[in-house]
Amino acid sequence: MSVCTETFQGAAADWDRFVASMPCAAGYYSHAWRAILERSFGHETHFLAARTNDVMTGVLPLVHMRSIFGNFLVSLPFVTYGGLLCRDQASSEALLDAAEDLRSRLGAHHVELRHTLAVNPDLPARRHKVAMVLALAQSEEEMWTGFNAKVRNQVRKAQKAGLETVWGEEELLDEFYAVFVRNMRDLGTPVYARSFFANILAGLPGATRIVLIRRQGQPIAAGLLYWHGETLEIPWASSIRDYNSLCPNNLMYWESIRHALRLGLRRFDLGRSSLGSGTFRFKEQWGARPEILQWHYLLPSGAKLPNLSNSNPKFSMAIRLWQRLPLAMTRALGPLIVRDIP
């Protein structure tokens, strides 16, 4: 049986039907993300599909990014997961060949595939990040008693401090974004535009929600939740460090876990971290376990692996400078910069 590849131009429902048939598919394979990424960042997308006897047997969503940071293709930028999603090895190899042809035609330096498994051991890879994933119990009580005393005490401290948990959608976006902008500035990281999150909420109704922690009516922690299959994620979560002593993050994560349990989900994905980092230790205390992320690359012969991570030492000066900028400036300049950093 021969495998053919194509740039997918069919109905979104056909793409999503294949994705739904693959139990290991992350939510970012949904065709809705194509429009979200195009509208939010203006990048050209190339959604590739493999067919065997006219039956779809694999997909590879790619985004073409070209700027002062380089010319490359990513599956998928701005999120943790992407890469090949295939029923068989033949479809995987055919899509890799199609991606390499596309890289060559576009003059791109590399193709980055954000896998969770070693889909092809011959591909060069970075394994510098892990996803922190918590297996969920059957009930809230079982979940609560499974935490160590420190975690339970931190949640109780936030509750005793009178912190309020609020749930919503777009009506909470301004408060979410205010916390997000402040946190990203303090971390030295350019911030996404507000429109990115507005597009996520509008493009994924019924699968996204904002959780907000307020103190005396003011937002001090916020997260955007996204769920797919059996997994709830909190890919964008922030808090204002001035209030760390009140443990708003702990309350936010506990309420997110409760939300996952109400939805009947089995996994809580706390997002990616570097091993041993502060965020890694925070997530580990909840009982989350690391799952190594395998980011594979298609490269020209002799080319080095790229490194646009903020852990790259050459970005350390830029990070320190960004931390000193006024919030209004980071809010204006951040989206112009971060749109080109995957």
Q: Does domain 3-129+293-306 have CATH number 3.40.630.30?
A: yes
Bond preceding residue 293 cis, omega within 30 of 0: no
Relative to beta strand 44-52, strand 3-7 is antiparallel
- Whole-prediction pTM: 0.94
Backbone phi, psi, residue 197, to 5°:
-70, -35
One fold for both 3-129+293-306 and 131-291? yes
Number of separate helices (H) and strands (E) present in the chain: 11, 15
**CA–CA distances in Å: residue 245 to residues 161, 202, 242, 282:** 10, 34, 8, 14
Size of the chain in residues: 342
| Fold that domain 131-291 belongs to in CATH | Aminopeptidase (3.40.630)
| pLDDT tens digit at each of 342 positions of the chain | 689 999 999 999 999 999 999 998 999 999 999 999 999 999 999 999 999 999 999 999 999 999 988 999 999 999 999 999 999 999 999 999 999 999 999 999 999 999 998 888 789 999 999 999 999 999 999 999 999 999 999 999 999 999 999 999 999 999 999 999 999 999 999 999 999 999 999 999 999 999 999 999 999 999 999 999 999 999 999 999 999 999 999 999 999 999 999 999 999 999 999 999 999 999 999 999 999 999 999 999 888 888 776 665 666 777 788 788 888 888 898 888 999 998
- Give the per-residue pLDDT at 312: 59
DSSP codes joined into one string, 193-260: PHHHHHHHHHHSTTSEEEEEEEETTEEEEEEEEEEETTEEEEEEEEE-GGGGGG-HHHHHHHHHHHHH
Measured CA to CA, the distance from residue 113 to residue 115 in angstroms comes to 6
Domain ranges of the chain: 3-129+293-306, 131-291
